[in-house]
Structure 1
Amino acid sequence: MPAALLRRVALCLAIAAPAVIVRLSGLEIPPLAVMLVFGAAIVASAFLLAWAAEAAQKDISGALAIAILAVIAVLPEYAVDLYYAFRSGTDPTYEQYAAANMTGSNRLLLGFGWPLVVIVALLVARKTAKAEGRPTLGYLPLPRGSRLEIGFLALLGLLAFVIPVLGQIPFAFGVLLVLVFVWYLWRSGQAESETEEELVGPARLIGDLPQKTRRATVIGLFVVAASLILASAEPFADALVESGSSLGIDSFFLVQWLAPLASEAPEFIIAAMFALRAPSSRCPQLIRRRPETGRRRPGVSVETDRF
């Protein structure tokens, strides 16, 4: 395995190591330190997830790789909220925290997450256009290959209106949503990528490995990162409530804002990384026509150092 890749993976594991030590040893540290330790572990895991997901696109459909990445990346958000919901069964005071984390996560995703990705992609696209002497665009045209994702988002958006109409979330409705997502995974796996992904940074180092070694590395990174996130979710959730009391800050406020920010950090980091990549397959405005032939060729994408 390349030394450059080993150094990056080792750095991420070193950042997450204190969380593992605290969790396994049962060491008692102040709640504020718990938040920092386990929050750092979640962020470090996000980098491992990003590298593994991109490298996985050499062996499976790009859309399916992103879908699998999304499932793992949202584990901290789900784990924290499920923990609060589970605790509320024996301690009713935790009901407010379950609601706070859920509403805060959605608010952060729609109000900050999606706009962040669009803004980053626009900045990269404009920089690329100026470097090539082309006019800049004030919007991001979506490729035809995005119809699958947009279609499922539209479907689930319509289904979401069922919840306020019913005033509850029936168990059967939850099963339906899971089946829709499984359907999306299946459709993503059937989709064929129109262009070959060009990997950069650690993902390229993983992608250049022999097939068996590459697949083992990708699976290993997925498992390690997911394990770190799951191990960090519960202590982080408890530390939020305890820190609010010790610091004189409303615990509801911390759970509603700080918990979603930390738990969704992997999603934000990964999405921002993909936007910074801005390859021609994801940003159609980076593909231009050659006047002399009318043929399309990919524009120059801005590559950034990931870590």
Structure 2
Amino acid sequence: MIVNRLKPVGLCAALTVPALLLRFTGTDPGAPAGLLLFGLAVVAASFLLAWAAEAAQVDISGGLAIAVLAVIAVLPEYAVDLYFAYTAGSNPEYIAYAAANMTGSNRLLLGLGWSTVVLVALAVAKKRRGATVRELILDAPYRIELGFLAIASIVAFVIPGTGQISLVLGFALLGFFVFYLWKVSRAEPRRPRRTLVAALFVFAAVVILASAEPFAHNLIAVGTELGVDRFLLVQWLAPLASEAPEFIVAILFALRGKGDAALGTLLSSKVNQWTLLVGSLPIAYVLGGGGSALRMDGRQIEEFLLTATQTLLGVAALLALRFPRWAAWTLLGLFAVQFALPGQTARYVLCGVYALIALAALIRNRRHLLPTLAAPFRRAPYASGSSREERISV
């Protein structure tokens, strides 16, 4: 029985071998073949992550398991974005790429990721129950993650307001992320993790780190050959490649009827991107030879403001720990609209639309605002609902 259960794990591990061999021998198979092989390795590692996360929730706090999963799943994004920020220290041209990659990945995560996962989870619930469902309901402990994201979202408006990510802000965000990990690791402790689960996490992390950068570069190379603008490739195609592991893991959870774990994974990913990733950028910039602040031009400020207002809407819509169908379609629709509105004025109008809808959602969910902001600082046990079916409002 155990052997049969380990067969899929062995198959996925085997699918990563060609990419690992290419990476560690320095062999270049060409952009199309590299895109295929490294992409296959990222997908296989994502399946390993999903299995490891499900098994880990038996042994450790559900919140910590989701947080570890989220950190590993976004490692490709860190590898790509921190490379751009580090290089920007000696080549200012790369500052634009660092900002574009970071804002693009964040908007993909919330606009496309959250929406898709919720819609898939609602569709699965409808099929199982035979009735139309209106919203995905998260368990109460997820308010901790939402509280961290809400606070980070408020702080994030300092960046477009000042036009820079300072080193002081970077260290503050990193400290806030460490506090987040400490918070979710203290609740509901369980038995030590099994060796196999730990090995799966480590192996998946190695595969993703080894495959993500060549996957993104080959994707950009193929796109360049097809005549796609390089800035757009860095902002959208590269993040799409680097976000692939967490998207795959979250969709797998949703298809298995674990919508709360699916959205919880992406919520945790958003927390660590909005704290650990953003906070690391000025540090990488300094290490690369840059100054004490990563300064942005008008276009980058506009991109960051758009990302911040989108995040504000996501937090406001989820304050009641209920993600309604309308919010999923709204986020997805506005995410799509931005591609038809490339001008600066249109982007600021879109920021206003995000802000107005967020304000309406904040007013509607106002009684949940203070409890959410206070949640990270309250002492409460963490009992993840990821081991049960999601609760659905019909």
Q: TM-score range by the shorter chain?
A: 0.7 to 0.9
Correspondence 1:36 to 2:33: no
**Match of 1:57, SS?**
helix
Correspondence 1:151 to 2:130: no
| Corresponding residue for residue 177 of structure 1 | 173
User: Unmatched 5+ residue regions in structure 2?
Assistant: 264-320, 323-387
**Match of 1:169, SS?**
strand
The verdict on how the C-alpha distance between 1:117 and 1:241 changes in structure 2, with shifts beyond 3 A counting, is: closer
Q: Report the CA distance between 1:90 and its aligned residue.
A: 4.2
The verdict on how the C-alpha distance between 1:32 and 1:254 changes in structure 2, with shifts beyond 3 A counting, is: farther
Q: Report the CA distance between 1:232 and its aligned residue.
A: 1.5
Percent identity among equivalent residues?
56
The verdict on how the C-alpha distance between 1:124 and 1:74 changes in structure 2, with shifts beyond 3 A counting, is: same
Amino acid at match of 2:243: E
TM-score (norm 1): 0.77
| Corresponding residue for residue 204 of structure 2 | 225
Query: Aligned equivalents of 2:259 and 2:218: distance in 1?
Result: 43
The verdict on how the C-alpha distance between 1:192 and 1:35 changes in structure 2, with shifts beyond 3 A counting, is: same
RMSD: 2.8
Query: Aligned equivalents of 2:141 and 2:224: distance in 1?
Result: 49
Correspondence 1:4 to 2:7: no
**Match of 1:80, SS?**
helix
Question: Would the aligned equivalents of 1:77 and 1:264 in 2 still touch at CA under 8 Å?
Answer: yes
Amino acid at match of 1:70: A
Question: Would the aligned equivalents of 2:137 and 2:260 in 1 still touch at CA under 8 Å?
Answer: no
Deviation per CA, 1:98-129, whole angstroms, max 9, x where unpaired?
Answer: 23322221221121001011111211222233
| Corresponding residue for residue 18 of structure 1 | 18
Query: Aligned equivalents of 2:187 and 2:219: distance in 1?
Result: 42
**Match of 2:228, SS?**
coil
| Corresponding residue for residue 256 of structure 1 | 235
| Corresponding residue for residue 101 of structure 1 | 101
Deviation per CA, 1:162-212, whole angstroms, max 9, x where unpaired?
Answer: 11112111112111112222222222123339xx9xxxxxxxxxxxxxx88
Deviation per CA, 1:3-40, whole angstroms, max 9, x where unpaired?
Answer: 22332122112221111111122223212222222122
Aligned with residue 215 of structure 2, among 233, 236, 242: 236
User: Unmatched 5+ residue regions in structure 1?
Assistant: 197-210, 286-299, 303-307
| Corresponding residue for residue 190 of structure 1 | 186
Amino acid at match of 2:181: L
Amino acid at match of 2:255: L
| Corresponding residue for residue 158 of structure 2 | 162
Query: Aligned equivalents of 2:21 and 2:159: distance in 1?
Result: 42
Aligned residues between the structures: 267
More off after superposition, 115-124 vs 275-284: 275-284
Query: Aligned equivalents of 1:101 and 1:67: distance in 2?
Result: 22
Correspondence 1:67 to 2:46: no
TM-score (norm 2): 0.61
Q: Choose between structure 1 and 2: higher helix proportion.
A: 2
Query: Aligned equivalents of 2:223 and 2:134: distance in 1?
Result: 42
**Match of 1:140, SS?**
strand
Query: Aligned equivalents of 1:96 and 1:169: distance in 2?
Result: 13
**Match of 1:151, SS?**
helix
Correspondence 1:273 to 2:252: yes
Amino acid at match of 2:199: G
Question: Would the aligned equivalents of 2:220 and 2:237 in 1 still touch at CA under 8 Å?
Answer: no
Correspondence 1:246 to 2:225: yes
More off after superposition, 95-104 vs 33-42: 95-104
**Match of 1:78, SS?**
helix
Query: Aligned equivalents of 1:280 and 1:69: distance in 2?
Result: 16
Query: Aligned equivalents of 1:61 and 1:19: distance in 2?
Result: 33
Correspondence 1:115 to 2:111: no
Question: Would the aligned equivalents of 1:101 and 1:256 in 2 still touch at CA under 8 Å?
Answer: yes
Q: Report the CA distance between 1:136 and its aligned residue.
A: 4.1
Query: Aligned equivalents of 2:41 and 2:166: distance in 1?
Result: 35
| Corresponding residue for residue 294 of structure 1 | none
Amino acid at match of 1:268: F
Query: Aligned equivalents of 2:258 and 2:24: distance in 1?
Result: 42
Amino acid at match of 1:67: A
**Aligned ranges for residues 84-95 of structure 1 at < 5 Å?**
84-95=84-95
Which aligned runs of 4 or more in structure 1 are off by greater than 6 angstroms?
A: 280-285
| Corresponding residue for residue 55 of structure 1 | 55
